[in-house]
Structure 1
Amino acid sequence: MRPRIGSVLSTFIVLTASAIGGVAFLYPFFRPPVQQTVSFNAHGEDALYLFLLITLSGLGAVLADLTWGRMSSQRTAVLGVLAALGAALRLIPGPGGFSALFFLPILAGYVYGPGFGFLLGTFTLIASALVTGGIGPWLPYQMLAAAWVGALAGVWGYVVRGLQGVRYPPSRWEVVGLAVWGGVLGLFYGAVMNLWFWPYVFQPQHAHMYWQPGLSWKETLLRYGVFYLTTSLWWDMGRAAGNFLLILTVGRPVLRALYRFHARSVLDVWSAEDSLVAESQERPVEL
C-alpha cells in the first residue's frame, strides 16, 4: 500500500508542476505584458518563483517516491548521476541547435517512465545551467521544456512496450523508432521554448509573424507558424538531427545499461518489501 501511496503522490506533484508550468508559458497571451520589448526581459517578474516551484516540486516528488514509493536509493543515485552526465554532455559543441544534453533524458525516460524522465530533464537543466553559467529568466522554462521531453520519451516507451512487450536487448528497430521520436522531441523543445519570449516581442516591419493583444487564437497560431518556420525551424533541425544520430549510433548500448540498472532497482525494492511483509507476519502479537 505504501508504494502505491508514494507513486500516486509523486505523480500528483509532477502533474501539478507541469500544469503550472503550462500556465506560465501561456498566461502572457491572456494577460498581455505592459510593453512588448525584447526577449531577455520576458518573464523577469515571475521566473524566480517558477524556478523555485519546479525545483521544490522535483525534490518533493523524489522524496515522496523514495519514502513511500518504489524509488530505491539506487534509482535515486542513478537519477543524480545521469543529471550530472547530462550537464557534462551539454558542453559538447555541435551545429545549429544541437545539444547532447537531451540524449540521456530521452533514453532514461524511455526506460524508467514519464515521471523519471520529467525529473531527469528538470535536474539536468539545473545542473547544466550551473556548469555553463546559463542562469536567467529563461532557465525555469528550459527546465520545463526539457522535463516534458523526458516525460514524452517515457510515454513513447509505454506505447512501445504495450505493443511488443519488453525486449532485452532492445531490437534495432526499437532503437530506430526511439531515434525518430528523439528527433521529433528536438523540434518540440524548440517550438515550446519560443513561447517563453514570443508574446513579449514585436517588430512592426515583420508584424505578420508576431503576436499582438486582441488577435484570435487562429490568427495567433498562424502567426506563430510563420515565425517558427522563418526563424526557428532551421536551428531546431540541428537539435533534431543530433538527437536522431546520437540515439541511432550509441543508443543501443546505453539502453542495455539502463535496462539492467532498472531491473536491479526493481528487484531491490521488491526484496525490501518482501522482508518487511515477512517481518510483520513473524512478529508475535502482544496482548
Structure 2
Amino acid sequence: MKIRFPLLTFASIFGVIAFTWPLYFSSQSIPGISQSFLNPTSAKWFALVIAAAAIALVAIEINRGLLDSKSVALLGVLTALVAALRLIGAGAIGVEPIWFLIILTARVFGTRFGFSLGALSLGLSALLTGGIGPWLPFQMIAAAWIGAGAGLLPKRFRGKSELTALVLYAIFAAAFFGVAMDLQLWPWVAGSDSQLSFIPGGEVSANLHRFLVFHFATAMAWDIPRAIFTSALIIVTAKPVLGSLRRANLKLNPISRAMAQTVAS
C-alpha cells in the first residue's frame, strides 16, 4: 500500500508560501486588499503565522500514529543528538554538523522520518542555544525539507554511488538552506530604499533579481563552508553511521529483518 503524506504535503505548501510570498504577492493578487497590508511589517506576521501552522501539522502527523512508538522513541533520541551537535557549531560560520546526521538518518528511515527529524531537531536546538526568534519556524521547515529530500534519494544506490549521491545532496542542501534563510530574511534587512530592497507589490522578475543579488553578495561566506563541512563529514562517517542506522532499522521493522534473514540464507 502506497504511503501518503497529506499533512506533510499541506505543511510544505504553507511553508512554500511563507518563504516565497515576496516574489509574487502583489496588491493586484487579491482584490480588496490594501497596499498597506503588503508592507514588510504586516506581511512578516502573515508569513510567520503560515510557518507556525506548518510546524503544527508536523506534530499532528506524529500524533495520528503514522510513526509507531519505537520510531517515535528513536526520533526523540536522534532529535536530541542533532540538537546537541548544533551546540558545536554555534557562532561559527558554516560549521554546522547537524546536517550530515539529518541527511544520513533520512537516507535510512525515509521521507516522513527525515521531515520530522529536521523540524523537531531545529526546534529543540533553538531551545538549547537560545536561538528562538521569528526565524525559527523557517529554519525548522527548511531543515524538514532537507530531511525529506534525503529520504527520496534512490534506494538502489549502494557503496560508492550512494556516497557520491549523499555528498552531492549535501552540497545542494547547504546551498538550499542558505537561499531559504536569505529569502525569509531579505525583505526585513535590505532596507526600503536600496538597490537590493524588497519592493512591496513589485514585479516578480524585479524582486527575484534583487533577491539573487542580495543572496550572492551576502551568503557565500556561510554557504560554501557549510557545503564543504557537511560533505567532509559525510565522506568520513557515512559507512559506519549508515551501518548502525540500518541495523537499528532492521530491529524496528520486523518485515525488513525477515527479508534480510531470507537473503542471508
Give TM-score, length-normalised by structure 2: 0.82
Q: Which residue of 1 aligns with 2:17?
A: 23
- 1:222 Cα deviation from its structure 2 partner: 2.1
Superposed CA offset, 1:212-237 (max 9, x none):
13432223222222111111122111
- Counterparts in 2 of 1:231-250, with a 5 A limit? 231-250=218-237
Amino acid at match of 1:149: I
Which one of the candidate residues 128, 144, 167 is aligned to 2:125?
128
Cα pair distance change 1:153/1:194, threshold 3 Å: same
Cα distance in 2 between the residues matched to 1:17 and 1:36: 23
Match of 1:182 among 170, 173, 178: 170
> How many residue pairs get matched?
247
- Please identify, of 98-107 and 84-93, the stretch whose mean Cα deviation from structure 2 is larger: 98-107
Q: Map 1:73-92 to 2 at 5 A.
A: 73-92=69-88
> Hey, what does 1:211 align to over in structure 2?
198
What's the offset of the Cα at 1:198? 1.2
For the 8 Å contact 2:15–2:50, the answer to whether it is kept is no
| Kept in 2: contact 1:121–1:150 (CA 8 A) | yes
Taking the aligned partners of 2:200 and 2:54, their CA distance within structure 1 comes to 28
Q: Distance in 2 between matches of 1:224 and 1:56?
A: 29
Aligned to 2:106: 109
Partner of 1:60: 60
Instruction: State the alpha-carbon separation in 1 of the partners of residues 192 and 135 from structure 2.
Output: 24
Tell me how far 1:187 sits from its aligned partner.
0.8
Farther-moved stretch of structure 1 (184-193 vs 212-221): 212-221
Aligned to 2:184: 196
> So what's the TM-score if we normalise by structure 1?
0.76
RMSD: 2.7
Structure 1 unaligned residues grouped into runs of 5+? 272-287
Q: Distance in 2 between matches of 1:12 and 1:270?
A: 28
**Cα distance change, pair 54–175 in 1 and its aligned pair in 2 (3 A):** same
Gaps of 5+ in 2: 27-34, 259-265
Per-residue CA distance 1:58-94 (angstroms, 9 max, x = gap): 2221222x3xx4x332221111111100000001137
Deviations 1:153-208 (A, max 9, x none): 1122xx2x2xxx264xxx1442232022112101100101111121234446741x
SS in 2 for 1:98: coil
Superposition pairs for residues 136-175 of structure 1, below 5 Å?
Answer: 136-156=133-153, 159=154, 161=155, 165=156, 167=158, 171-175=159-163
Identity value in percent: 35
| Higher CA-based Rg | 1
